[in-house]
Amino acid sequence: MDPLGVLAASTALVAYPGAAFVAGPVWLLVTAEGRAAARLRPEVIAAAVCALLACTLSPLPGSPSLVLPDRSGAPANLLASLLLLGAAVGLAAPPRWRAWPAAAALAALVAPLVLGAAEATFDVAALAALPGRDLGGARICAALAMLVAVPSLVPTAQDGPSATAWALVIAATAVVAAGLALPAPTAGLPAALTAGIVLAAVGVYALLVARLGRRVPAPAAALVTVALGALSVALSIVAEVG
């Protein structure tokens, strides 16, 4: 039995900073929108669980995926993260989507899937560690596509179950995107500094969404998402061929 491994696993489960990555931006989003947090209805709880589970699969400091089930950790599976985020979006989004949001969702989903398929791995940490400008650009474009798409899918509290569910999905998407875009994860930096960078980035994104989300038309958001997704796919193919 490895006492240090048990301690690391216990700490990851009890004090995983992913909750902090989400809690701060959620407060910023709800406060900036001028709404009080809604009651914890079943769909809100389900969206919160899916969003937080998606965060646990992001290879950020203290993530359970880095220390469980043993010291070598378990793969931070991108496919599982996308499925969990999709479930959270489905619970927080309107029951019926129009054409533009559907196009944005498809583009944001296809880009990271093509990236993983091209490199024959859905391990986020492995993808982040792969060298090359094309792959780096593909990861960044895929992450940006997710960040642009999700606010248009869950635009306001009136369109979903509550402001809380809306904010949770936005914040969780930012955490997953950060895990995909940051290199390996920010190798060489102390874990505390990496966590601070991610938390600051997610907080800034939350404020931008709260201030600008309503001002961006759905067609514009969809077009930007499709462009970013297409660029990510193209760079993934170029990196694989090259």
Q: What is the pLDDT along the chain (242 residues), one digit of tens a residue?
A: 455 555 555 454 445 555 556 666 666 555 655 554 445 567 777 877 788 778 777 777 666 666 555 544 455 678 888 888 888 888 777 666 778 888 898 999 999 999 988 888 888 877 877 778 888 899 999 999 999 998 888 755 444 446 667 777 888 888 888 888 876 545 566 766 777 777 788 888 888 887 776 678 888 989 999 999 999 999 999 888 86
Task: List alpha helices for 38-182, DSSP H.
Answer: 42-56, 78-92, 99-118, 124-129, 133-153, 163-181
pLDDT at position 14: 46
Cα 165 to Cα 96, 107, 232, distances in angstroms: 17, 23, 29
Residue 35 lies in domain: 3-241
Q: What is the number of structural domains in the chain?
A: 1
